[in-house]
Amino acid sequence: MSRLEFQILSDRKDIDPANELILCIIFFPYFYYWEPISKVLALVGNLPRSRREKNAYLQFYLHPQTIISPVSSLTMDTSSQTYTIQTAHTNWIFSGDTGSTLLQSTFGKSVPETCTSAALAVYPVRNLSALLEPSLCIIQPDGTHNLELQLAAVSESGLDDNASSTVFHLADPAYPVDVDLIITAYFAEDVITSRIRVINKGSQEIMLLDRDSAFVRLPYHHDTRLTSFYGCWAKEMTGFHEDRLPRGITKHINSQISRAAVPDYPGCYLSFGGPAQEDSGDVFAAAVAWTGSWEYSITNTENDEVFFSAGTLPALRILAPGRRYESPNVVMTWSSQGKGQASRNLHDYGRNYGIYNGKTERPVVLNSWEGLYMDFNEEIVTALIHRAAEAGAEYFVLDDGWFGNGKYARNQDTCGLGDWQVNREKLPHGIEYLCDECENVGLRFGIWVEPEMICPLSELFENHPDYAMQLRFRDRVPMRSQYNLDLTNREVESFVYDTVASLLSAHPRIAYIKWDHNATANVNPGSPANPDDQGALNDRFTEAYYRIISKLRKNFPSVIFQACSSGGMRGDLGTLQFSEEFWGSDETNALDRILIQWGWSHFFPSKAIASHIGRYKEGDFKLRADVAMTARLGIELDPKILSDADFDTLKQGVAEYKKIRPLLHSADLYRGRSPHDSQVTELTFVAKDKSQAVFFGFKRHTDPYTENLLPRGIDASRIYRLTELNPDTSPRIVPGDFSGADLLANGIPVSFPSKQSSVVVRLDAI
């Protein structure tokens, strides 16, 4: 048992009862006196080293009917053939004998281990009621929609000492089709993911229709509420709608092939027993980790039973003999402490597992776009690099307009995409010169690319019109004077990878890539390279995108990647598994960003959401800086346009942010009043041990205003010292020492001036 990992078996014939008794006698004092001798016994090498492993061993040896993996959250009761997948506060229970249908019970809060309630198929493939849709629909070689899945085996493996995957191997006894249901539990994060693998083991092709990644039975209640998220360009995630779940099927879809997060978002919250509360009540949250067309459905039966299913948007896909289909993950969590705890669960999952380099702090970036657009030369860029350093930036990113030569030079957005050569007129000394300039002032250099696109006015299109996506027998339709490249064509996939890899190889000091994607692939939804399997276009496009960026991450692991797509249209958990961050919106107005970032906070930690102090239509620079601090702060303007006073305010905001960045990028976020309901909004970032916190208050109206604003999440039993950060010309709080109980009950008195304004307060336990 050196790996602390067990194969789940249908009986326990491999364990000798006499040996089991001996092991119980040997291990009993070990468990009883765990604390004083655990470190010594850990030296043996194959004994449990943590409390979770100790508890697993105790259960395993003292309850012979139970099999458990100490590195996972799976237990099996052989007497009832029940499998329990458990996180810190959530259970999902399954039951079934080999050769029978695997059943599931309700997904939700932890229940006693004796609970074996399971009455519905874990993965329905037929209409089990008049209302439920099948989660998997296959057209067999004989033309029938005929599938029956029986449990063949169960296996599990630990990912680390906190997470493990359980695979329910299901098979059709009549047709050569296998389905693996793969469920991964993240114990501390209270997150469970679900996906499927379909394997054609026959000698003829089959066709996939519906293929949900997850099907979940939820608590039934006469008053279940669905919170959905939506938006549009420059208003991402500002749509925030809660509806009482009607009887029947409620379905949300996004049919964009190459991006996922706008207009509808591939995630939702469900509350049971009334409207979702921030800090109380039972809440289920889920998101599809996929950067293409998706759907999720909630079914409410006539008996108030609730079922959730989600995955890719179904389209006919051919599965050849011996081939397999791998679905994306659906990420799910349960909270009995309202939306706030569900969000914090997802934030922890993102930092620890779901976001690339999720545990590292993010740098302050100055991006050139709103400062220069495409109108620049080497001298102008060099000057901006120096001003970026003076403002406190750590990275400088040159945005669009640096490439293309001759008649297709990228001087406007109508031409040049695909011609990735440095513009010799604008930048005669090339990228290495700019890297030198950044290095001389202590910055790192980054650059913008849009490698999945091609302009009709480009050398690439003249030479390879076949690289562009096109629907057979239809003229191509341009979107923003560009087409999507056909990533399902392996030659094009290689071209896109080589474009970025060659840039990074030729210029190894490039430390940041802003990867943009400004036109959806469903404008010309066809592949000249795969004319006979167009139903697979969504799957194959996204799979190719993942292969490209995954290979880049492997070969250039230190480069930071930002996902951008007309703003936040790739703010999804599929893209973020390969990217450190995403561009939250092209809207940099601080007041608008309060609502945008509020929406994103339901799924992502602050460090993943790029938010820049911008140039247009905003309040004062203190407000702009304070709003950007609640995400990943950056700058998107040329400081030369600022007055001395505004530049000093900008510098001060960046400097204050750097001091509290370690906390902001690792803290638990507690939301206060919603900007959808109030002109005053509160956010509190609290350290895991509650020894520190940073409180933000935002006022969007212009009247002078004094109110006690409530921090949340701090320890009521501690005393906190309050200090105002990034202060304005006059203080907005009275500093001092206050009990956590008093602050939670009565708040922090804040005096706002007669303008749209903000306050930042640091709380240190003493």
Greater confidence (314 vs 126) lies with 314
Residue 141: its pLDDT value, please? 96
Among 36-40, 250-254, 492-496, 559-563, the least confident range: 36-40
Q: Quick one: average pLDDT of 714-730?
A: 97
pLDDT digits (tens, 9 = 90+) for 638-657: 999 999 999 999 999 999 99
Alpha carbon 716 to its chain centroid, in Å, reads 32
What percent of the chain has a predicted confidence (pLDDT) above 90?
Answer: 82
**Strands (DSSP E) found in 54-176:** 66-68, 74-77, 82-86, 90-95, 103-104, 108-109, 120-121, 136-139, 150-158, 163-171
The residue-averaged pLDDT of 37-64 equals 39
Q: Which band of pLDDT confidence, cut at 50, 70 and 90, is reported for residue 121?
A: confident
Cα separation of 229 and 269, whole Å?
9
Is the pLDDT at 50 greater than 60, yes or no?
Answer: no
Average pLDDT of the segment spanning 685-694: 98
pLDDT tens digits, 365-394: 999 999 999 999 999 999 999 999 999 999
The torsion angles phi and psi of 27, rounded to 5 degrees, stand at: -85, -15
pLDDT at 129: 61
Residue bearing the bigger pLDDT, 722 or 125: 722
- The answer to whether residues 378 and 433 touch, using CB atoms and an 8 Å cutoff, is yes
Mean pLDDT of 651-672: 98
Separation between Cα atoms, residue 745 and residue 389, nearest integer Å: 43
β-strands 560-563, 581-583: how paired?
parallel
> Hey, is 428 helix, strand or coil?
coil
**Per-residue pLDDT tens over the stretch 137-191:** 999 999 999 999 999 999 999 999 999 999 999 999 999 999 999 999 999 999 9
State pLDDT tens for residues 445-456: 999 999 999 999
pLDDT at 533: 85
Return the residue matching tokens 């998107």: 636
Preceding amide of 465 cis, omega within 30: no
Q: Is 175 helix (H, G, I), strand (E, B) or coil?
A: coil
pLDDT tens digits along 78-91: 777 899 999 999 99
Distance CA 38, CA 49 (A): 7
- CA 750/CA 417 separation, integer angstroms: 51
According to DSSP H, which parts of 373-481 are helical? 378-391, 430-440, 459-463
Partners of 696 in the beta sheet? Answer: 683, 760
DSSP code string of 192-256? EEEEEEEEE-SSS-EEEEEEEEEEEEE---SSEEEEEEE--TT-TT-EEEEEEPPSEEEEEEE--
Q: Count how many Cα atoms sit within 13 Å of the Cα of residue 270 in the half-sphere of its side chain.
A: 30
Q: Which of 43-47, 606-610, 699-703 has the highest mean pLDDT?
A: 606-610
Count of other CB atoms within 10 angstroms of residue 587: 21
Distance of CA 208 to the CA centre of its chain: 27
Q: Which of 20-24, 96-100, 278-282, 626-630 has the lowest mean pLDDT?
A: 20-24
Asked if pLDDT for residue 54 goes beyond 90, the answer is no
Per the CB < 8 A criterion, the answer to whether 461 and 408 are in contact is no
Q: Does the pLDDT value for residue 6 go beyond 90? A: no
Does residue 9 register a pLDDT over 80?
no
Which pLDDT value is given to residue 616? Answer: 77
- What does residue 606 show for φ and ψ, rounded to 5 degrees? -60, -35
Beta bridge partners of 217: 307
pTM of the shown model: 0.91
Cα separation values, 169 from 105, 363, 578, Å = 18, 44, 28
pLDDT of residue 26: 42
Would the pLDDT of 37 be above 90? no
CA distance 223 to 718: 39
Those residues with Cβ within 8 angstroms of residue 513's Cβ, 6 or more apart along the chain or in another chain: 446, 447, 449, 500, 504, 559, 560, 561, 562
pLDDT, position 534: 87
Rounded Cα–Cα distance for residues 385 and 398 (Å): 9
pLDDT in tens, 395-425: 999 999 999 999 999 999 999 999 999 999 9
The pLDDT score that the predictor gives to residue 43 is 38
| pLDDT band with cut points at 50, 70 and 90 for residue 221 | confident
The Cα 547–Cα 537 span in angstroms is 15
Confidence (pLDDT) at 78: 72
More confident residue, 214 or 69: 214
CA angle, corner 244, sides to 240 and 248, nearest 5? 115
Tell me how far apart the alpha carbons of residues 623 and 620 are, in angstroms, rounded to a whole number: 6
pLDDT tens digits, residue range 507-561? 999 999 999 999 999 999 999 888 888 899 999 999 999 999 999 999 999 999 9
pLDDT tens-digit readout, 574-601: 999 999 999 999 999 999 999 999 999 9
Mean of pLDDT over the chain: 90
Q: Compute the distance between CA of residue 609 and CA of residue 588 in angstroms, rounded to an integer.
A: 12
Q: What is the mean pLDDT of residues 325-330?
A: 98
pLDDT at 55 over 50: no
Q: Is the pLDDT of residue 41 over 60?
A: no
> Among 240-249, 610-619, 623-632, 717-726, where is mean pLDDT lowest?
610-619
Q: Burial of 535 by CB count in 10 Å (0-12 exposed, 13-18 middle, 19+ buried)?
A: middle
Backbone CA torsion sign across 469, 475, 478, 481: positive
pLDDT at 33 over 80: no
